[in-house]
Amino acid sequence: MDKSAAAANDVERGDYEHERTGTVWTATAHIVTAVIGSGVLALAWSVAQLGWVAGPLALAGFACVTYYASTLLANAYRAPHPVTGDRNRTYMDAVRSYLSPREVFMCGIAQYVNLWGTMVGYTITATISMVAIRQSDCFHRNGAGASCDAPGTVMMLAFSVVQVVLSQFPGLEHITWLSVVAAVMSFAYSFIGLGLSVGHWVSHGAGLGGRVAGAAAASSTKKLWNVLLALGNIAFAYTFAEVLIEIQDTLKSPPAENKTMKKASMYGIGATTIFYISVGCAGYAAFGSNAPGNILTASGLGPYWLVDIANMCLILHLIGAYQVYAQPIFASVERWASSRWPEAKFINSAYTVSIPLMQRGSVTVAPYKLVLRTVIVVATTVVAMMIPFFNAVLGLLGAFSFWPLTVYFPISMHIAQCKITKGRKWYLLQGLSMVCLMISVAVGIGSVTDIVDSLKVSSNPFKTIS
């Protein structure tokens, strides 16, 4: 099929309902924004639980699986042919094109629960950073022994107010500038965290901290839970499959969207893996078995002002990353509302408002979108207040998203698309899926156990803790 014929077919199918101007670099920015988030802060602790051998190997292993699965998922953007087929604008649309209705339902549950859960995790992480900045400044002004309690709930509400405002942008294609800024911020605090960890390591004699077998625990059971939690944190650190199709839907063509997306995935995952291994190993070398759950909260990490800058960069990054995960949820809920009440005046009313820094210069604000998006952000904030346990929440999110979204559905769609029958390749693909399933189940059990134990000892679950 020639380019003009493909374009004509796109128009007939209504595929130009929004302008697609994305390139490999904007897609890479979206990926880096989605991937490098709160997960990077837990990598020193994760490597500490796994040790010097298993830690780096786990980081590299998850990176390879994620990249391979992302190449399979990129081919599913169009169906039945990866270049000339019909567009699938969402992850669920892609699953619907290749798999059964039951699997579409399973995909919807897994994708949107994980998208929303990631928003919860980002709210917790941003609040921890805001509290850390407040306490750091207080200690610097009043001394280390001063009482410097920070209002975590107030900080969390402030972050949520910002998200309510940003949620009024129609979609990802309208906030590319926000993803670019967020991507720059992610590199900034990753470099700062890495530099401060290396500086702490050198200033304390450059001795290799930690053990080959990882940090010791009070019991073998606790050690097992910590190892599983570490694997969950690493799995979460690589999560972005649930927004890959939505990111790909912003790309212009030619060249073919799957070709561009594969390059963007390689660049994005490659860059983040280098950061992850560096930050995880540097943090473990610097703090050994005492590596904290959030590296930016480590005692004596570096000059308070530089740690504050890192935390500020993290907050700015999470502001953008939150929207990368929230926009698909907003779009799905709004499509459902429009189809459910197509004649409702409240749903069909809209107003145009001029917005600076936006590519098109203005945004259409619909009252029902304002209400729906605000309700989603508020619900996210309430849940974040109730379970503010950083490592456990990240581990649970990693367990819940890794197998179904990153591995199972991409592999299943690839088998259906390429009509792979039982044979060597089929068994290898199914074997990879089963191994990842077992890892996800084990990590999920460990994460839930840790959350339950944390709730038992927390007298005030609305107080954000790290």
Residue 359 has pLDDT above 80, yes or no: no
The closest of 203, 181, 445 to 315, measured between CA atoms, is 181
What are 203-235's pLDDT values in tens digits?
877 667 667 777 777 788 888 888 888 888 888
Residue 12 has pLDDT above 50, yes or no: no
Question: For residue 340, what pLDDT is reported?
Answer: 76
The closest of 464, 176, 190, 187 to 323, measured between CA atoms, is 176
Taking a C-beta distance cutoff of 8 angstroms, is the pair 55, 285 a contact?
no
Instruction: Round to whole Å and give the CA distance between 451 and 456.
Output: 9
Token pair of 64, please? Answer: 């390879």
What are 35-57's pLDDT values in tens digits?
776 677 788 888 999 988 888 99
Question: For residue 460, what pLDDT is reported?
Answer: 53
pTM > 0.85: yes or no: no
Instruction: Round to whole Å and give the CA distance between 296 and 41.
Output: 7
Burial class of 268 by CB neighbour count within 10 A (0 to 12, 13 to 18, 19+): buried
Please name the residues in contact with 27: beta carbons below 8 A apart, sequence gap of 6 or more. 247, 248, 250, 251, 260, 261, 264, 268
Single-letter amino acid, residue 28: T
Percent of the chain with pLDDT over 70: 82
Question: Other C-beta atoms within 10 Å of 393: how many?
Answer: 27
More reliable by pLDDT, 462 or 191: 191
